[in-house]
A and B are shown apart, each in its own frame.
Chain A
Amino acid sequence: MATPVVTESQGTVATVPGARRGASARLRQAASTPPGRLRVAGAALAALVVLFGAVAVEQVSTRATAAGRVVSGSEPLSQDAAEIYRSLADADTTAAAGFLLAADEPAAVRQRYEDDLATASRLLSEAAARTGSSPGAQRPITELNRQLPRYAGLVETARADNRQGLPLGGAYLRYASALMQDTMLPLAQSLVDAESGRLDADHGDASSFPVAALLLGLVALGALVRYQVVLFRRTNRVFNTGLLTATSAVLLAVVWLTAASASAGAALATSRRDGSQPLRELDHVRIAALQAHAAENLNLVARGSTDTYTKRWSALVDPLNAPAAQAGSFGHAVAAGRPDAERPAAEAERAFADWLSRHRAAADKDSAGDYDAALRGTLSSGGNDTADAAFTTMDRKLAEAATAEQHDFEAAAGGVDGFLEVYAAAAAVLTALAVGGVLRGIGRRLAEYR
Chain B
Amino acid sequence: MTPIMRTVRARALVAAVVLAAGALGAGSSQGVPAGAPRTASTAPGLAPMADDGCDLTASEPPAKNPNGARIRKIRERGSLVVGVDQNSYNWGFRNPQTGRIEGFDIDLVHALAKSILGDPDKVTLKTVPTARRIDAIKGGEVDMVVRTMSVTCDRKKDIAFSAPYFRVTQQLVVPRAAKATGFAEALRGKRACVADNSSSQAELKRDGRGTAEVRTVENQLDCLVLMQQGLVDATLTDNVLAAAQVAQDPTVRLVPETIAPGYMGVGMNQADTDLVAWVNQVLAERKANGDWRASYDRWLAPTMGASPDGYLP
Contacts and interface: CB of A to CB of B under 8 A. Distances in A.
Interface stretch (B35-43, B105-113, B216-224): B216-224
Nearest to B98: A165
Contact of A305 (B85, B101, B248): B85
A371 B127 contact: yes
Given A163-B96, A305-B129, A305-B219, 6 more contacts: A168-B248, A304-B85, A367-B126, A369-B81, A369-B124, A369-B126
Contacts of B131: 307
A103 B101 CA distance: 16
A165 B248 CA distance: 9
Contacts of B130: 305
23 contacts: A103-B96, A157-B228, A162-B96, A163-B96, A167-B93, A167-B94, A167-B244, A168-B245, A170-B87, A171-B225, A172-B225, A302-B87, A303-B94, A304-B86, A304-B126, A304-B129, A305-B127, A306-B219, A307-B129, A366-B127, A369-B125, A371-B101, A371-B125
Contacts of A163: 96
Contacts of A175: 222, 225
Main secondary structure of the interface of A (DSSP, over half): helix
A174 B217 CA distance: 12
A151 to B, nearest CB: 13
- The 3 tightest CB contacts between A and B, nearest first, are A304-B127, A369-B126, A303-B86
B89 interface: yes
Contacts of B249: 168
B1 A305 contact: yes
Contacts, number: 84
Interface in A166-181: 166-172, 174-175
A211 interface: no
Contacts of B245: 168
A370 B79 CA distance: 13
Given A175-B222, A308-B218, A167 B125 contact: no
Contact of A306 (B101, B125, B129, B225): B129
B225 A102 contact: no
Interface centre among A163, A170, A368, A370 (most CB of B within 10 A): A170
A143 interface: no
B248 A166 contact: yes
Interface string B230-268: 000000000000001100110000000000000000000
Contacts of A369: 81, 124-127
Interface string A298-337: 0000111111100000000000000000000000000000
A366 B94 CA distance: 14
B96 A102 contact: yes
Nearest to A310: B129
B94 to A, nearest CB: 6
A304 B128 contact: yes
Interface in B62-104: 81, 85-89, 93-97, 99, 101
A115 B124 CA distance: 40
A372 interface: yes
Contacts of A161: 248
A302 B130 CA distance: 12
Contact of B89 (A166, A174, A305, A366): A166
